[in-house]
Amino acid sequence: MSKLSLKDLLFICFCAVLLIAVRAAFRWRLGISGHAMFFTVFFLLLSRSCVSHRLTATLTGFFAGTAAIALGMGKGGPLTLLNFLFPALAIDLGAFLFPPLLGSYPLCALVGAFAGASKFFSAAAIGLLIGMDRTVLWQRAFIEAGAAMAFGCLGALCLPPVVKRLRAYGLFNPSGE
Amino acid sequence: MFPVFAKLPSSSADGKAASPLLSPGTALTLCFVLSLAAVIAHSASVLLFLSLADGVFLYLCRINRHSLWRAGKIFLWQSTLVTGLYLLRFGVAAGLGPGLLISWKLVLAFTPGLALAQGIPQNGIEKAMARILPQRMAFALSMSIKFLPLLTREIRAVYEAQVLRGARILPRDLWRWRNWSDFFHSLIAPSVVQAMLLAENIAQAARSREFGRYPRRTIWPG
């Protein structure tokens, strides 16, 4: 793994901390399941588009999870890390499989939905760990994953306009595609 | 680059930072426990107890009045918004109580983080994080937490400048989806550029202070 520069590492951390701050600010509990995935996917894709490294999104997810744990922003304690790591891994995998991902609306929507679907695994893992009934666990995981997919898709669709503008500024990293 | 460091949020108005009465490790642990307790608490009596605990925590972190007033304005706006949304969704009778309770929980969940970010010196947070993370990562993460208020102020300045230039990014404009392109072009993209510039400035300042020259010599005072 090539070593990231300090500037890139700091930018990744800024994305992670902004993600936590925005998620915390929108924690309204209005009964809309999965809405946090909107911001998660957007910031993970944003960091992936600006820093050229294969594991940028994963690192951002790791930092976001660590900051969330340190600042007590997660209901699940240390398991909060899973809520960030699974979508981040999905995004890095998507960027690896589809190199022109970051400027394309359909590919962004696809990868956003894929990242949202990873909520199924984190919901199931947490449910299994706390000893939830299996039927209830799978039903809950499917419902949460469905909503997260929709919001992840919407969050990902917000990225191409930003990438387009950054490309116009000459700041978009072509090797990050 | 250096004037950025002259405006660290932990500095008080007269330029002298008040020393916190807690060690960074203890403050970090208490912050985690208090915020988590606020998120999982359901009864008003527990929230009342947590309010008292947060008050003590704020005192121990030696938060100055200016920081408290600034945070209070944000909390007031957020509580009004959240309660208003609950009233709209559930009506006055069913929405007022839960709306206020959620607002109260939000304030209690944010307060320890505010106290930690404003009251505890950056090198202290870094030291505490360095126990669980590699030094370089701990430095980057603690710096980004420390500079988040500065970054949000810069984003706010971009927002105000773009509104004055006629960008349709006011909250009432964003109800129309067609205005979202303005939002991305005139606010999000420049904010990303600001974050990149800030990261570059911090990295340059760290390099000029020989950061990373020795594996274990990244914190001052050691």
Q: List, for residues B86-106, the tens digit of each pLDDT value.
A: 788 778 888 788 888 878 887
Query: A80 pLDDT exceeds 80?
Result: no
In this prediction, residue B53 carries a pLDDT of: 93
Q: What average pLDDT score do residues B180-196 get?
A: 89
- Spatial separation of the C-alpha atoms in residues B18 and B59, rounded to whole Å: 11
Query: Total structural domains in chain A?
Result: 1
In this prediction, residue A172 carries a pLDDT of: 65
Radius of gyration from C-alpha coordinates of chain A: 16
Least confident interval from A9-13, B40-44, B143-147, B160-164: B40-44
In this prediction, residue A133 carries a pLDDT of: 67
Please state, for a pLDDT cut of 90, what percent of chain B lies above it.
14
- A147: containing domain: 6-26+36-170
Query: A32 pLDDT exceeds 70?
Result: no
Q: List, for residues A114-134, the tens digit of each pLDDT value.
A: 999 988 887 787 667 655 567
Please state, for a pLDDT cut of 90, what percent of chain A lies above it.
34
Query: A89 pLDDT exceeds 90?
Result: yes
Q: Which residues of B200-220 are buried (b: 16+ CB within 10 A; e: fewer)?
A: bbbbeebeeeebeeeeeebbe
pLDDT-derived band of residue B15, with 50, 70 and 90 as boundaries? very low
Write down the mean pLDDT value for chain A: 82
Least confident interval from A95-99, B125-129, B200-204: B125-129
For every residue of B126-178, which 3-state class applies, written as one string?
HHHHHCCCCHHHHHHHHHHHHHHHHHHHHHHHHHHHHHHCCCCCCCCHHHCHH
Q: What average pLDDT score do residues A62-79 get?
A: 72
Q: What average pLDDT score do residues A105-119 get?
A: 91
Q: What is the DSSP string of B47-58?
A: HHHHHHHHHHHH
Task: Kindly determine whether residue B212 and residue A6, on different chains, have CB atoms separated by under 8 Å.
Answer: yes
A31 located within any domain? no
Q: What average pLDDT score do residues B9-16 get?
A: 42
In this prediction, residue B116 carries a pLDDT of: 79
Between residues A105 and B1, the one the model is more confident about: A105
Q: A6 vs chain B: nearest CA distance in angstroms?
A: 6
Joined together, the tokens standing for residue B4 give 């950025």
In the 8-state DSSP scheme, what is residue A30?
-
Query: A136 pLDDT exceeds 60?
Result: yes
- Spatial separation of the C-alpha atoms in residues B16 and B20, rounded to whole Å: 12
In the 8-state DSSP scheme, what is residue B188?
I
Residues of B in contact with A63 (CB under 8 A): 137, 140-141
Q: What average pLDDT score do residues B60-71 get?
A: 80
Q: Which of B199, B165, B159, B190 is nearest to A166 (CA)?
A: B190
Residues of B in contact with A154 (CB under 8 A): none
Q: A93 vs chain B: nearest CA distance in angstroms?
A: 23
Between the alpha carbon of residue B115 and those of residues B68, B161, B172, the distances in Å are 9, 30, 33
Joined together, the tokens standing for residue A61 give 């997810």
Q: Which of A164, A151, A95, A162 is nearest to B195 (CA)?
A: A162
- The half-sphere exposure of A157 on its side-chain side, counting CA atoms within 13 A, is 13
- Spatial separation of the C-alpha atoms in residues A65 and B44, rounded to whole Å: 29
In this prediction, residue A131 carries a pLDDT of: 57
Residues of A in contact with B136 (CB under 8 A): 6, 9
Hey, what amino acid is at A136?
V
Between residues B28 and B16, the one the model is more confident about: B28
Q: What CATH number corresponds to the domain at position A62?
A: 1.10.1760
Joined together, the tokens standing for residue B222 give 């050691």
Q: Are B128 and B22 in contact (CB under 8 A)?
A: no
Between the alpha carbon of residue B192 and those of residues A10, A14, A82, B114, the distances in Å are 13, 10, 26, 24
Query: A175 pLDDT exceeds 70?
Result: no
Domains of chain B by residue range:
19-120, 134-222
Which residues, in sequence order, are CB contacts of A29 under 8 Å at separation 6+? Answer: B102
Q: Which of A15, A17, A80 would you mutate first to test chain B, the one with the most B CBs within 10 A? A: A17
In this prediction, residue B108 carries a pLDDT of: 85
Task: Kindly determine whether residue B112 and residue A72, on different chains, have CB atoms separated by under 8 Å.
Answer: yes
pLDDT-derived band of residue A77, with 50, 70 and 90 as boundaries? low
Q: List, for residues B35-64, the tens digit of each pLDDT value.
A: 888 877 778 888 899 999 999 988 888 887
Q: Which of A49, A94, A24 is nearest to B111 (CA)?
A: A24
Q: A12 vs chain B: nearest CA distance in angstroms?
A: 9
- Spatial separation of the C-alpha atoms in residues A13 and B127, rounded to whole Å: 17
Q: Best-predicted range by mean pLDDT among A11-25, A127-141, B17-31?
A: A11-25
Residues of A in contact with B195 (CB under 8 A): 11, 14-15, 18
Write down the mean pLDDT value for chain B: 79
Task: Kindly determine whether residue B35 and residue A5, on different chains, have CB atoms separated by under 8 Å.
Answer: no
Task: Kindly determine whether residue A63 and residue B141, on different chains, have CB atoms separated by under 8 Å.
Answer: yes
pLDDT-derived band of residue A47, with 50, 70 and 90 as boundaries? very high
Query: B201 pLDDT exceeds 90?
Result: yes
A18 located within any domain? yes
Three-class DSSP category at A103? helix
Task: Check CB contact of A3 with chain B, cutoff 8 Å.
Answer: no
